[in-house]
Amino acid sequence: DTAVSQTPKYLVTQMGNDKSIKCEQNLGHDTMYWYKQDSKKFLKIMFSYNNKELIINETVPNRFSPKSPDKAHLNLHINSLELGDSAVYFCASSPLSGSGGKTQYFGPGTRLLVL
């Protein structure tokens, strides 16, 4: 009955590789997000999708590309990985309206380490 799930949980890879992180939510939410948490626990939004449409694209390198095949999935593809990409990436989702309309629900995170 996991609400927001991410795979993989851990990802260790070499510089220059391309990798993807997957996110799925079974809450029926309309909006999904990707956040990056650095080693000092600072959290920053990267992307937001509403019904498969990009609505927020903060200043992130264009090596990062989100893809939303349907409303329940938002994947993050990263090209040419760099050392500075090492972080924990969190997926989140929220409904468009209703009593929980402004609450975001987070996945468990994907810990990416670039060597």
Q: Which residues bind another protein (CB under 8 A)?
A: 4, 31, 40-45, 48, 55-56, 90, 92, 94, 102-109
Q: How far is the CB of 47 from another protein (least distance, A)?
A: 11
Instruction: Output 68 or 94, the one with its CB closest to another protein.
Output: 94
Which is nearer to another protein, 40 or 62 (by Cβ)? Answer: 40
C-alpha distances (whole Å) from 94 to each of 4, 74, 113, 115 are 10, 13, 28, 34
Q: Indicate the residue among 14 and 42 with the shorter CB distance to another protein.
A: 42
- Cα end-to-end distance, the chain, whole Å: 34
**No. of helices (H) and no. of strands (E), the chain:** 0, 11
